[in-house]
Amino acid sequence: MDKIATAEQMRELDRRTIGEKGVAGLVLMENAGRGACEVIQEHFPELRRAAVFAGKGNNGGDGLVIARHLQNAGVEVTVLLLAGKDEIKGDARTNLEAWLKMKGKLEPIESEKRLAGQRTAILHADLLVDAILGTGLNAEVQGLYRAAIELINQVSSKRNLPVLAVDIASGLNADTGQVMGVAVEADVTASFGLAKVGQLCFPGAALSGRIEVIDISIPPKLFEDLPYHAVTAAAAAELFAHRPEDSHKGQNGHLLVLAGSPGKTGAAVMAGESALRSGAGLVTLGVPASLHDLFELKTLEVMTEPLPDTDRRTLGRAAVARAKELMADKEAVALGPGLGRGEEVTEFVRAVIAASSAPMVIDADGLNAVATDPEMVKARQAPIIVTPHPGEMGRLLKRPTVEVQADRLSAALEFAKSYGVITVLKGAHTVIATPEGQAFIVLSGNPGMATAGMGDVLTGVIGSLLGQGYDPARAAVLGVYVHGRAGDLAAKDLGEVGLIASDLIQRLPRTLSELKVEG
């Protein structure tokens, strides 16, 4: 599985590579610049003229190395140095001096007026290289750097010029993917050592373009203890378990789905059907008794059990005893899709959490109940996976949704560590966090999946995998990838606009077949 890193983790990797392994910082910079040049040559083989925007720090030094290698390859390069020459220090200074000795074209720019005067030279380039700001950015971009970033975006948009970002698109927060005032809109990012967390979290993911990871000679052994991962098709295939040829339904898990209320029967049905389509041997829906006949008509392979319900036709205190009986012989429980809200529902959720000896996934109205008192999950007997969307995550953490979205990784990790549950923060590039501090960003899914019922399908997929015996973290990660990939297949077949949750259910077997072949 591909490791990813925060800005601080990358700084520590650089420090250890230099201090413990004896690799000079100048060597790392040379490797970075040469690798980025190779990426440029691969993506833009017909390149004739390039404009390199270089800041005064190490990111600018990387840009100077790129300029040197491009010039050696016959490309006409102009370096737009966004500082005075005397401001450049350390390894970047060494590469500036090398550029000058090579008679490379250099335009020192110390004011916005001077920058505006270089517009003609910029317009003649075939490629714009952003080597302005690196991963250490922690404040809004202002002044000359802001003007340079805005100019890059304007020229790129007007002339349809490609932009390559060096290590990270300038203006992006490397940890959150948030824009620090303004950010370069890159077509390709040459990311050094590892991809950065912020390059996989939106809006950073959209602004980074295609990410190419460059080996800069950081020893791979130093990556081993990093806790954050990107989940690709290859990683998902490694997680997928092939079942024996002589397996039978009793070996593939029995999932109990406790769900449903008036107006939300579809949520329960989709959770059950998606569980079967994800390989569960048996699925039983535990539903309000007054709605049971309706469920009997809506399901085929999924079994149903009526539970005593409230006068609002939801599951409540009276359903707890029967729910305990049903849970007794199940391998996994899914709690929440379409369950409804209210005090009785909350008490039902609290009792089920405390009583279940099987691993459980909680979603939707189950999470709304938990949000009234998150401490209830600490009464669990078995592992719990929660699958909130950003609004639900905000309610669980008692904070605005906008704060959750501003730092999705931290939000998921905070809840996972505080309450000891695996936390699946849904959204574009879903984040999964474990109580031990591991985190995963899943690179499947598409905008067409932003519609009702998708979470119910995910609940069924994860519940199915839990029932099949996958450990909870593995079930969560694989389940999220499979769900997103099924959405991608549906979008390919039907288009993103108008995609509905049941479109994914039909494509779950195809998705799992892909993993079987890949693995």
Look up residue 239 and give its two tokens: 């997680």
Q: What is the rounded distance in angstroms from the CA atom of residue 377 to the CA atom of residue 349? A: 10
Give the Cα-Cα-Cα angle 132, 138, 142 (nearest 5 degrees): 55
**What pLDDT score was predicted for residue 121?**
79
Mapped onto helix, strand or coil, the DSSP state of residue 470 is: coil
**Residue 127 one-letter amino acid:** L
**What pLDDT score was predicted for residue 227?**
99
> 2-225 in CATH: which number?
3.40.50.10260
Pick from 367, 358, 417: which is nearest to 388 by CA?
367
Q: What is the rounded distance in angstroms from the CA atom of residue 471 to the CA atom of residue 483? A: 18
Q: Where in the chain are all domains bearing CATH 3.40.1190.20? A: 235-518
DSSP code, position 436: T
432 to 338, 442, 449, 454, 467: CA distances (angstroms): 23, 8, 18, 17, 19
Q: What is the rounded distance in angstroms from the CA atom of residue 454 to the CA atom of residue 257? A: 16
**What pLDDT score was predicted for residue 1?**
84
517 to 194, 278, 462, 488, 499: CA distances (angstroms): 27, 16, 21, 18, 26
**What pLDDT score was predicted for residue 485?**
99
DSSP codes, 300-343: SSSEEEEE-B-TTSSB-GGGHHHHHHHHTT-SEEEE-TT---SH
Q: Where in the chain are all domains bearing CATH 3.40.50.10260? A: 2-225
Q: What is the rounded distance in angstroms from the CA atom of residue 361 to the CA atom of residue 384? A: 6
Q: For residue 287, what are the contacts with CB-CB under 8 A and spacing of at least 6?
A: 259, 260, 265, 268, 295, 304, 305, 306, 307, 315
Mapped onto helix, strand or coil, the DSSP state of residue 465 is: helix
Q: For residue 324, what are the contacts with CB-CB under 8 A and spacing of at least 6?
A: 352, 355
Q: Are 175 and 7 in contact (CB under 8 A)?
A: yes
Secondary structure element (H or E) that encloses residue 164, with its range:
strand 163-166
Domain 235-518 in CATH 3.40.1190.20 = yes
Cα separation of the two ends of the chain: 13
Q: For residue 30, what are the contacts with CB-CB under 8 A and spacing of at least 6?
A: 65
Pick from 50, 54, 29: which is nearest to 214 by CA?
29
**What predicted TM-score, i.e. pTM, was given to this entire model?**
0.96
Q: For residue 281, what are the contacts with CB-CB under 8 A and spacing of at least 6?
A: 248, 249, 250, 251, 252, 253, 254, 467, 468
494 to 362, 461, 504, 515: CA distances (angstroms): 30, 22, 11, 22
Q: Are 257 and 336 in contact (CB under 8 A)?
A: no
Could you report the average pLDDT of every consecutive run of 10 residues in the chain (519 residues)? 97 98 98 99 98 98 99 98 97 98 97 91 94 97 98 96 99 99 99 99 99 98 98 97 82 96 98 98 98 95 98 98 98 99 98 98 99 98 98 98 99 99 99 99 98 99 98 99 99 98 98 86
